[in-house]
Structure formats: structure tokens, C-alpha cells
Amino acid sequence: MSSEFEITVEQEIASVRMGKPHVVVLGAGASRATCPTGDRNGKTLPLMADFTEILGLKALLREWGIDPDRNFEEVFSELYARGETEKVVRVQSVTNEYFESLALPDTPTIYDHLVLSFRRKDLIATFNWDPLLLQAYLRNQKAGLPLPMLAFLHGNVMVGYCPSDRIVGVATGRCSKCGQRYTKPPLLYPIKQKDYAADMFIANEWKQLKRGFQNAFMITIFGYSGPKTDQEAIAAMSGAWGGKSGRAMEQTAFITIQTEEEVNNNWEAFIHTHHYEVHADFYSSWIANHPRRTGEAYIHQYLDAKFINNNPIPKHLELPALHEWFQRFKGPEEAAQI
């Protein structure tokens, strides 16, 4: 094959052309995939389907005369709607305590690979309360590469912010401008009518996501099914994405255990004809095979009509070696300033 029609890995790394963001939206399935056998201490990352069992809420629900096998989203929504404040607060307390206790394993995970795979122009937005994404972000700053923006759409147990200076940081820290301790934003629980504008922090996170969706060349939905109780979230994202007929060149990707039919049914508003792809795991995705160059690979394949070669993230490197592997991207990015 002539090199005129092919882009090598070296050429992909050297080419820094895409200024538009790649936006990733994370759901609970992404955290479960990051720690499939449990966190550093063996604690399971819950999904909504097994939430009450993993957090030990079943006994409490039985005590209240509630079927412990019911979906947590439905149970919490009903408690909230009936104004059962004491029970709502008790559930919130148990939830906060469990998620605050979670920690990444010492060895690199999907979240480490994910944050290293994007540049400052890109955005990772998460619905998850667990601290794993932010923990991965902090420890991978040692690589010396610009990392993507983060948005916490339902709040996060590890995140704090300064209402006066609108600065976000680790919840236990202080504002770099005024020195005041950060305020912890509320966690948004699965009620049917979420108000994303009620809290300043949450409203700002959604503004980030909407800007990202409006400008994105690609969005990736990872481990998030778009449940029925999140219709407001889906509507907000859809509004920012705009009509799919106006997205003839953009690509939508899904990392999910759902079938292609389920993906099409749940995300039909985001998919323009055949411009989508479904991956069963992170390491078969566009992100993992074109780290820090997802946009450039997109341009080469879909706009320049050239054959491209994968540059897969080495899955089994320890953090220092992983950071060293990513150093090859630094020079071209600094030269391009994109």
C-alpha cells in the first residue's frame, strides 16, 4: 500500500489539527468497568440495578416496609415525592459514606488511560458520584501533559467549589483566590424532576457540557444507558447537540454492554444515519486506539479518506512507564498549541 494513502502511527502523533472537542459522557457502567473486581479495598462500584444491595440499603428498606428488590431510582423518587424527609436524608447519608470510601487501585485503570487520552480542549462529563475519575486526574498530572476538562453533572463526593470566586477543587481544599474552604455541592439524586439550574455549581457543570456538545466533532457515551428517570438530562444534551440532521459529519460512539438495537432506541436523537459505532469495551474504542489524537484520526479517515493505523494504549504498564509512553505526544502538541 502506498504511503500516499496511509497514515502511520508516527504521522498521526505528529499531526495536531483538530481544535474541536471530543466529549465523553460517563455513567455508572464506566466506573464498574474501571474497577470490575472492586476498588482498592475490594468494594464494588454499584449500578442502579444493584445499588441497594451493594450499599447495604435492603435491610433499611425492609424496615420501612418497602420492597428491597425494587429499582433504587423508583424508590428514592417516591420517598422524595411523598416528602419523607428523614428517610431521604438517611439514604443520602448511607450513599455519601459509601462513595467517599472508594479509592482507585494502585495499578493503572481505564480512568487513568481515559484522562491521559485527551487534551485540554476535550471534556469528560460524568454523572457518577464516586471519586475515581478525579483521583485518576490528579495522579496523572505527574505525566506533565495538559489533561481534559472535567464536569460533574450530578455532583461528586470529592469535589468542592468556592461560590464567591467560582473556583472548583478537591472538596477538602481551600479556594486559591480567597482562601476559604470549599463548599461541597449537593449530590443530585434520581428524582424524576431534577432542577439543573437550582445550584450554581451544578448549573455551571451543565453549561460546560452544553458548550462541549455544541462544538464537538465526536461524542462518546460510556456506560450510560440514558434511563427513563433521566429524561431531563437526555433533553438537555439533545438540545445542546441540536437536530441530528445538522450533524452529518460528526460521529457518535458508545462503549456499552447494550445491543446495537438498544443503543439505537435509547440514543436515536444523537445518531445521524450510519455515523456511529458501538464498542463492547473501552480498549476496542476509538479513544483507546488513537489516544490524544481522536480528532486527527477522524480527519484522516473520514475527511482525507486515508487508511489509518491504530496506536493502542499499552494496558499493562505501571504509572511511571505509562507516563513515559505518553511523552511522545508532548512535542507536537506544544508546537501546535491546540
Q: Are residues 179 and 226 in the same domain?
A: yes
Q: Are residues 303 and 279 in the same domain?
A: yes
Q: How confident is the model over 93-108, as a mean pLDDT?
A: 97
Residue 16's Cβ-count burial label (10 Å; 0-12, 13-18, 19+) is buried
pLDDT band at 161 (very low <50, low <70, confident <90, very high): very high
Q: How confident is the model over 320-326, as a mean pLDDT?
A: 98
Q: Are residues 88 and 215 in the same domain?
A: no
**Domain of residue 91, residue span:** 48-100
Q: What is the pLDDT of residues 167-206, one digit of tens each?
A: 999 999 999 999 999 999 989 887 767 778 788 999 999 9
Whether pLDDT at 247 is above 70: no
Q: Are residues 157 and 256 in the same domain?
A: yes
Q: Are residues 9 and 56 in the same domain?
A: no
Q: How confident is the model over 256-274, as a mean pLDDT?
A: 79
What are the cell numbers at 54? 451493594
Q: Are residues 72 and 117 in the same domain?
A: no
* Domain end position, chosen among 100, 124, 144: 100
Predicted structure pTM score: 0.94
For residue 3, the tally of other CB atoms under 10 A from its CB is 10
Beta bridge partners of 220: 24, 253
Q: Are residues 13 and 52 in the same domain?
A: no
Report the alpha-carbon distance of residue 122 to residue 287 in Å, rounded.
12
Q: Are residues 158 and 264 in the same domain?
A: yes
Q: How confident is the model over 269-284, as a mean pLDDT?
A: 83
CA dist 161 → 152, 176, 206 (Å): 12, 10, 15
Q: Are residues 29 and 56 in the same domain?
A: no
Report the alpha-carbon distance of residue 81 to residue 101 in Å, rounded.
29
13, 314 contact by CB (below 8 A): no
| Rg (alpha carbons) of the chain, rounded to whole number | 21
Burial 38-59 (b: 16+ CB within 10 A, else e): ebeeebbbbbbeebbeebebee
pLDDT band at 243 (very low <50, low <70, confident <90, very high): low
Q: Are residues 60 and 140 in the same domain?
A: no
Whether pLDDT at 244 is above 70: no
Provide the domain count of the chain. Answer: 2
Place of cell 480567597: 178
Report the alpha-carbon distance of residue 222 to residue 84 in Å, rounded.
34
Whether pLDDT at 30 is above 90: yes
Q: Are strands 167-170 and 159-162 parallel, antiparallel or unpaired?
A: antiparallel
Q: Are residues 120 and 136 in the same domain?
A: yes
Whether pLDDT at 246 is above 70: no
Which SS3 state, helix, strand or coil, does residue 155 take?
Answer: strand
What are the cell numbers at 39? 476498588
Q: What is the pLDDT of residues 107-151, one digit of tens each?
A: 999 999 999 999 999 999 999 999 999 999 999 999 999 999 999
DSSP-derived letter for residue 224 is -
What are the cell numbers at 256? 456499552
Report the alpha-carbon distance of residue 220 to residue 128 in Å, rounded.
16
**CATH number, domain with residue 157:** 3.40.50
**For all residues of the chain together, what is the average pLDDT?**
91
Q: Are strands 22-26 and 123-126 parallel, antiparallel or unpaired?
A: parallel
Q: Output the CA angle 132-135-136, nearest 5 degrees.
A: 85
Report the alpha-carbon distance of residue 160 to residue 151 in Å, rounded.
12
Q: Are residues 144 and 127 in the same domain?
A: yes
Report the alpha-carbon distance of residue 53 to residue 46 in Å, rounded.
9
